[in-house]
Structure 1
Amino acid sequence: MTEQDSATPIDPAHLPLLITTFLDAQFAHDADTAVPLCLPDAVVTDEGYDFRGHDKIRDWVTNAASEFTYTTELTGASRLDDTRYDAIHHLEGDFPGGVADLHFRFALRDGLIETLTIEP
């Protein structure tokens, strides 16, 4: 059994406000809202690349997937424990493949985002 197998499904509306606020800001490329929700040494991993610290995360939020037009829908969520959550998004747009279901796996510490890993 993997760690993800032991996750407890939750209604996406019950994700912590910190996570939903970050997701909304990230999809809107609003770094001024997203970055303060992360620890100074936070790491975002997207497409196999690590973005560590506020400056790199700011660049990532501002530029990630900005060359594409897409819609996103929060379709599911799970809680691994008190500090780790998985938010599942369905994306459709003009990016290669046109459709993707992505897991946004968050780890929280001290009331802020410690890590975010985005993967299929």
Structure 2
Amino acid sequence: MTSPEPLPIPVAAALEAADAGNTEDFLAAFAPDGAVDDWGRVFRGHDAIRQWSDAEFIGKQVTLRVTGTRTDDGTTTVSTRVGGNGFNGLSDFAFTVSGDHVELMRITG
């Protein structure tokens, strides 16, 4: 049995910060002009991502249990079981990374 490849550092940092309820570290994982695409609703820049997260993600005490990962064509997709006081269930997060930061976190399923 082989171990999954390690996640890119910015992806791991964003997921760990969200799971820990740490908004500042979550935002720090994103490029200044990075974005979250939540099923077609795009939140670009740290202020917009903070507002989205406060209302729908970390503000809802999100928990994330990683169930799988894969990387294709520069996109790392992390499958999770989401818990908390908002959405609960299975969800995929597709990350595009540039350098040391997340450029895009797209919630895909």
Give the structure-2-normalised TM-score.
Answer: 0.79
Q: How many residues align?
A: 106
Tell whether the 8 Å contact from 2:79 to 2:92 is kept in structure 1 after alignment.
Answer: yes
Q: 1:26 to 1:93 in 2, by over 3 A?
A: closer
Percent sequence identity over aligned pairs = 25
Coordinate RMSD, CA, aligned: 2.3
3-state DSSP of counterpart to 2:21: coil
Match of 2:106 in 1: 117
Runs of 4+ that moved beyond 4 A? 92-96
Match of 1:85 in 2: 76
Give the structure-1-normalised TM-score.
Answer: 0.73
Tell whether the 8 Å contact from 1:70 to 1:94 is kept in structure 2 after alignment.
Answer: yes
Query: What is the one-letter code of the residue matched to 2:99?
Result: D
Please say which structure displays the higher CA radius of gyration: 1
Segments of 5+ residues of structure 2 without an aligned counterpart are: none
Shift of residue 54, structure 1, vs aligned partner? 1.1
Q: 1:70 to 1:33 in 2, by over 3 A?
A: closer
Segments of 5+ residues of structure 1 without an aligned counterpart are: 1-9
